[in-house]
């Protein structure tokens, strides 16, 4: 079939994360209709995760194209750019304090960012409770999107913004995520200033990272007095079952961790012992490098669906940059096919280069830095 013009095309985005919503917002700003499908029952049905740092040259650039940069600055935590590099005893060896007015990479809670983007879209843009089952149809379109509730819609362009286990990816690529060998346990802390004053003083206003070569801890302040800690270890993906532990066995997991971290000081061990509630197991996955696919005029990918990498502060920023560039390519191109080609011509080489730089980098989160050496910690997985 002949590729339709973007203004007359049926464009479907799968996934209402930062990437999918950014793409939808920019398309709507330019008068191009779009529908977003997401498996969540609604926009507030689950915890959206921790804090994100949005960079000037990608995440913030996308928000500028979306017309939301000033709203982002009003929500952002500029003090969250503070970073402490510690040893297992809790002694600080490197300390970055942002300058007054520094807008390089302020923090925002993932839920706040999602709400900002959702609030900018026309009513009804996002269809909730729509879990994609499959994408079928010829490469030149139209594509049929079949959902697990048995409903189906046709699309002239389907955009996969549906994360690590993307269903849209299967329409263009056989690649699947692989375990990196490093796993995070996420721990939550509430009411930091009152309930956890010692940890509040230890971590500061931003984030703090410590490692001993085999394991690490990364603490990250969130808004509203909350904090998340990522307990980072080199373990088999099924380590919980292998140790006879269940995900809901908080006390058993804590006792096991205290054995692994026995050489660490009581001061830093508060990040393991003082959490409010259960731990969340998050094995770190990545797509094979390089990941590319044969061009299809009716389907493409952005964000983790296209280039899942270790969580080292680039994932959401790249997803939003992808989203901006794809939306603008659709605005400027005569046909959907032309737009997808133009977008992938830039996105694929960039993502391959970045993925190669970060390949195996999850291990670096466990390494002991040299004297005075700081290192950015992980982004929220």
**Domain ranges in the chain?**
6-50+108-176+287-360
Q: Is the pLDDT of residue 50 over 90?
A: no
Q: Is 275 exposed, middle or buried (0-12, 13-18, 19+ CB in 10 A)?
A: buried
In terms of DSSP bridges, do strands 157-160 and 11-14 run parallel, antiparallel, or are they unpaired?
Answer: parallel
Model confidence at 369, in pLDDT bands (50, 70, 90)? confident
Q: Given a cut of 70, is residue 375 above it in pLDDT?
A: no
For residue 44, what pLDDT is reported?
A: 81
Please tell me the distance from the alpha carbon of residue 378 to that of residue 372, in angstroms, as a whole number.
19
Q: Annotated binding site for NADPH: which residue ranges?
A: 46
Pick out the residues of the known binding site for FAD: 53, 110, 304
Question: Would you say 304 and 298 are in contact if contact means Cβ atoms under 8 Å apart?
Answer: no
Q: pLDDT value at position 1?
A: 66
Average pLDDT, the chain: 94
Higher pLDDT, 127 or 312: 127
| pTM above threshold 0.85 | yes
What pLDDT, on the 0 to 100 scale, is given for residue 300? 98
Length of the chain: 381
Lowest mean pLDDT among 187-196, 274-283, 360-369: 360-369
Q: Which fold has domain 6-50+108-176+287-360?
A: FAD/NAD(P)-binding domain (3.50.50)
Q: Among 19, 23, 303, 58, which Cα is nearest to 164's?
A: 303
% residues pLDDT > 70 (the chain)? 96
Mean pLDDT calculated for residue range 128-155: 97
- Per residue in 174-209, pLDDT tens? 999 999 999 999 999 999 999 999 999 999 999 999
376, pLDDT greater than 50: no
Given a cut of 70, is residue 108 above it in pLDDT? yes
Picking from 7-11, 99-103, 284-288, which range would have the lowest pLDDT averaged per residue? 99-103
- Cα-to-chain-centroid distance, residue 307: 11
Residue 43: pLDDT band (50, 70, 90) is confident
What's the CA gap between 35 and 181, in Å, rounded?
Answer: 37
pLDDT for the residue 2: 86
Average pLDDT over residues 328-341: 98
Instruction: Give binding residues as ranges.
Output: 46, 53, 110, 304
Res. 88: pLDDT tops 90? yes
Distance CA 242, CA 30 (A): 53
**Cross-sheet strand order for the sheet of 143-147:** 132-136, 143-147, 152-155
Residue 380 pLDDT greater than 60, yes or no: no
Using the predicted structure, report yes or no on whether residue 311 has a pLDDT greater than 90: no
Give the start-end residues of each E strand in the chain.
Answer: 11-14, 35-37, 51-53, 83-86, 92-96, 107-109, 126-127, 132-136, 143-147, 152-155, 157-160, 178-189, 207-211, 215-221, 227-234, 280-286, 299-301
């Amino acid at each position: 079939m002949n590729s339709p013009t973007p203004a007359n095309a049926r464009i479907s985005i799968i996934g209402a994360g930062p990437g999918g919503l950014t793409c939808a917002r920019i398309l709507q700003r330019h008068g191009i209709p779009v529908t977003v499908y997401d498996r969540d029952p609604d926009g507030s049905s689950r915890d959206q995760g921790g804090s994100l740092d949005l960079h000037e040259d990608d995440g913030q650039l996308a928000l500028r194209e979306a017309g939301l940069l000033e709203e982002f600055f009003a929500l952002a935590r500029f003090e969250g750019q503070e970073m402490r590099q510690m040893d297992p005893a809790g002694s600080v060896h490197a300390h970055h304090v942002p300058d007054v007015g520094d807008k390089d990479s302020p923090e925002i809670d993932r839920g706040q960012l999602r709400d900002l983007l959702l609030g900018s879209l026309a009513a009804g843009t996002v269809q909730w409770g729509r879990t994609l089952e499959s994408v079928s149809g010829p490469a030149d379109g139209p594509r049929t999107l079949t959902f697990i509730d048995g409903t189906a819609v046709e699309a002239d362009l389907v955009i996969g913004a549906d994360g690590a286990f993307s269903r849209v990816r299967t329409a263009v690529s056989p690649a699947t995520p692989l375990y990196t060998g490093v796993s995070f346990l996420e721990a939550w802390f509430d009411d930091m200033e009152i309930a956890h004053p010692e940890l509040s003083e230890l971590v500061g206003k931003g984030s703090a990272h410590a490692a001993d070569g085999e394991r690490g801890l990364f603490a990250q302040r969130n808004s509203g007095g909350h904090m998340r800690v990522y307990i980072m270890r080199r373990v088999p993906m099924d380590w919980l079952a292998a140790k006879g532990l269940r995900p809901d066995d908080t006390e058993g997991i804590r006792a096991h961790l205290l054995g692994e971290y026995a050489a660490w000081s009581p001061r830093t061990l508060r990040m393991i012992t003082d959490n409010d509630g259960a731990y969340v197991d998050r094995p770190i996955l990545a797509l094979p490098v390089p990941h590319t696919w044969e061009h299809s005029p009716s389907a493409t990918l952005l964000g983790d669906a296209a280039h899942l990498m270790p969580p080292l502060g680039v994932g959401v920023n790249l997803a939003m940059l992808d989203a901006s560039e794809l939306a603008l390519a659709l605005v400027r191109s005569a046909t959907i096919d032309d737009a997808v080609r133009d977008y992938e011509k830039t996105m694929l080489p960039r993502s391959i280069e970045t993925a190669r730089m970060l390949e195996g980098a999850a291990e670096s989160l466990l390494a002991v830095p040299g004297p005075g050496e700081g290192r950015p910690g992980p982004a929220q997985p």
